Amino acid sequence: MKTLQTNLLPLHLRAPEGPAPCEHCALRVHPAFLPMTADQRNAIQSFRKGTRLVEAGRAIIEEHRASGQLSTVYSGWAFRFKTLGDGRRQILSFLLAGDFLGLQDEFAEGHTHGVEAVTDVSLCVFERADLWDMFRSQPRLGYDITWLAAREEKLVDDNLLTAGRRTATERVAMLLMHLYRRARHVGLERQGQVEFPFQQQHIADALGLSLVHTNKTLRRLQRMGLFEIERGALRILDPLALESLGDYFERPMRPAPLV
């Protein structure tokens, strides 16, 4: 029986490549994302102000500071979070290639969340001040951003159900399957395993569990032969059992817009 590591470090991950110009973007030819016309692609390129590389453990969006930027994740893993006054943290969602960041602050009173890089993360950057011009001149792009916002709302709904009604075992089983499916969907699967650079504290903060309870639950599921995590990689050994245990039966993921 392999021992579950306390610190799940991404030993095999490569440093992310910087985003290419939109016409040469590797993500745009991936089946996880919807195709677009040359005019739509050129419009996105015209609104893009540059690229950004954020090192692992650094802030992409400061929780209590205003940011004038919107971003699309090109590569790497990150998470959105909020903290209480005493430092307790709730991870709201995990982010990877194709996810759009920073939109909530445009419509909220005050700052809504922070975003932190788990691995090195590369981003395409847009100016928030250009958002209305983008919607007005490119209504299709406006619809795509609305689609992405609606998907994010669904993820928040799922997280609320998990925190409110699932048991600890169900929560962990659901999260493992959810992250595995999302990583596989955007091409991070290699030889039956996906990149999994998270520590147990990330899992605990996402599920509202103590670190001790998270550790015990992970070990229990591993002893059942449902998954293994080694050297920053997750392998699901019995997906049907893990889905059943987590009451997590999702339809195949649809291709998403890429801004």
- Mean pLDDT to the nearest integer, 180-184: 96
Residue 245's nearest CA partner among 198, 184, 175, 191 is 175
More confident residue, 208 or 104: 208
Contact 124, 51 (CB under 8 A): yes
Indicate the pTM of the whole model: 0.89
- Mean pLDDT to the nearest integer, 212-224: 97
- Mean pLDDT to the nearest integer, 197-212: 97
Is the confidence at residue 10, as pLDDT, over 50?
A: no
What are the tens digits of pLDDT across the range 231-255?
999 999 999 999 999 999 888 899 9
Q: What is the pLDDT of residue 110?
A: 61
Average pLDDT, the chain: 89
Is the confidence at residue 9, as pLDDT, over 60?
A: no
What are the tens digits of pLDDT across the range 161-179?
998 999 999 999 999 999 9
Q: What is the pLDDT of residue 111?
A: 62
Is the confidence at residue 5, as pLDDT, over 90?
A: no
Is the confidence at residue 2, as pLDDT, over 60?
A: no
Tokens of 253: 């993921």
Residue 75 pairs in a beta bridge with: 122
Residue 101's nearest CA partner among 128, 120, 82, 83 is 128
Question: Within 10 A of 87 (CB to CB), how many other CB atoms are there?
Answer: 6
Token pair 């990150």 is found at 78
**CA–CA distance, 87 with 12 (Å, rounded to integer):** 31
